[in-house]
Amino acid sequence: MKRPILIHPDPRLKKLCDPVADLSDDLRTLADDMLETMYDAPGIGLAAPQVGILHRLIVLDCAKQDNGETPRPLVMINPRILASSDERSVYEEGCLSIPDQYADVERPKMVEVEWLDRDGKLQKEEFDGLWATCVQHEIDHLDGKLFIDYLKPLKRQMITRKMVKLKRERARP
C-alpha cells in the first residue's frame, strides 16, 4: 500500500529517529509499503520519517533500470556508516520530501554500511557512486537532516519558501 510522503517543512522531518528494537510484521509491512511508495514516486530512496514514522528504517534501489540493470530493492534497518572515504564526490541531489528541487551536494565517495535486513540478518557492504550518495542521504533523514541543510542559507531559504507555497496550494480544496 502506498503511503503519503511528508513535504518539507514538517517537524517530523527534523527529528532524531529511534532505533528499531524488534522486527515485527508491522515493520516488514512498512518496509514493503515504503518500497512501493518509492518506486511509484518515482525515487531511488525513502526514509521512514518521510512517511511519518520516526524509526531508523530506510529503503533504496539505485539500479539503473533504464540501462537494463536488475532492480535491487534494499531494506536497511538501523543502518550505520562504519567508514567513509576521504575522497569526495558531488551529485545533484533531490528528495521526495522536497519535490522538483535539485542541488549539488558533496559527500564521501565511498561508505561502508552495516544494517539489519528484512529478515533481521546483519549485512555489511561498501557502496560507491550514486549508491553511496543515496545511502548517506537516507541515513541523514534518520538524524533529521535534509540535503538542503548542506546548502548555503540563502539557497536553503529559497527552497523552503517554495515548499511552503507548494503545501499551501496542495491544501487548497
Select from 33-41, 56-64, 89-97, 109-117 the region that touches Zn ion (CB under 5 A).
89-97
For the bound state, the minimum distance from the C-beta of residue 133 to Zn ion, rounded and expressed in Å, comes to 11
Nearer of residues 43 and 116 to Zn ion, judged by Cβ: 43
Q: Among the candidate windows 53-61, 95-103, 116-124, 128-136, which touches Zn ion by CB under 5 A?
A: 95-103
Between strands 57-60 and 88-95, the pairing is unpaired
Compute the distance between CA of residue 40 and CA of residue 23 in angstroms, rounded to an integer.
25
* 95 lines the binding site for Zn ion (CB under 5 A): yes
| Choices 16-24, 30-38, 87-95, 156-164 (CB under 5 A): range interacting with Zn ion | 87-95
Residues 6+ apart with CB under 8 A from 43: 96
C-alpha cell recorded at residue 162: 517554495
Residue placing its CB nearer to Zn ion in the complex, 8 or 109: 8
Residue 137 annotated as lining a ligand binding site: yes
Cα distance between residue 151 and residue 142, in whole Å:
19
115 vs 147, beta carbon nearer Zn ion: 147
Cβ proximity to Zn ion: between 23 and 130 the closer is 130
- Ranked by CB distance to Zn ion, the top (closest) residue is 95
Cα–Cα distances (Å) from 71 to 20, 63, 117, in that order, read 26, 6, 17
Nearest CA among 53, 51, 73, 55 for reference residue 134: 73
Size of the residue set binding Zn ion (CB under 5 A)? 1
Q: Is 138 a catalytic residue?
A: yes
Q: Which of 87, 92, 106, 138 is catalytic?
A: 138
122 within 8 A of 93, measured Cβ to Cβ: no
9 upstream amide cis, omega within 30 of 0: yes
**25, 33 Cβ separation under 8 angstroms:** no
Judged by the rule CB under 5 A, the positions of this chain that interact with Zn ion are 95
Instruction: State the binding site for Fe cation.
Output: 95, 137, 141
- Give me the active site residues, please: 138
